[in-house]
Copies of this chain bind each other. A is one copy, B any other.
Amino acid sequence: MKLDETKISSECIYSGKILSLYRDEVLLPDGKKSFRECVRHNDGAAVLLVKDGKVLLVRQFRYLYGREIYEIPAGKSDDGENPDCSALRELKEETGYIAKKLTPLCKIYSSPGFTDETIHIYLAEQFEEGISRPDEGEFLNVEFIPLEKVLEMIERGEICDSKTVAAVYKYVILNK
């Protein structure tokens, strides 16, 4: 069965700082018309760094969930920036760590029903400590948490961030 949808027209609802929202009219496979609500967002990059069996995490307040959550260091790519460069940059900005060797772990589509965001996830295999310089308006705490505890926190729903869950699970599979 042919599943393609074709764009008929696109209306920009909002163009903001970190995202844009479009409402596109599309032609469906059965010849009918419909609309797709599209949140366009630059791709992101994230880094899993494990040191002495402990995972490097940033704890920050996420306004959309109204609470502090744990995530691996990550951020969105600047326009035209390669994901591995974004990963190195975000790791250094948020935690001070400088990765000497990054290996791709996996990439994820955050939520393909409404956004085009792709997050490229890397493992930092060689690294050294440095000084963090978070962006203005970015407030976070950097913590190392033992891998076993991170897995328990995922199990209990205390760590839920999709990139963090994917990265930690992949790491466990690679090291079993």
Contacts and interface: CB of A to CB of B under 8 A. Distances in A.
A18 B36 CA distance: 9
A19 B166 CA distance: 25
A2 to B, nearest CB: 9
Nearest to A157: B107
B111 A3 contact: no
Interface range, A side: 35 or more
Q: Count the copies.
A: 2
Contacts of A40: 64
B36 A139 contact: no
A112 interface: yes
Nearest to A170: B169
B3 A140 contact: yes
A61 interface: yes
Contacts of A21: 13-14, 21, 39
A140 B29 CA distance: 10
A118 B3 contact: no
Closest 10 CB pairs of A and B: A169-B169, A110-B111, A3-B61, A162-B162, A108-B162, A64-B116, A62-B112, A109-B160, A110-B110, A36-B63
Interface of A: 1, 3-5, 7, 13-14, 16-19, 21, 23-24, 26, 28-30, 32, 34-41, 44, 59-65, 68-69, 71, 76, 106-119, 137, 139-141, 154-155, 157, 160-163, 165-166, 169-170, 172-173, 176
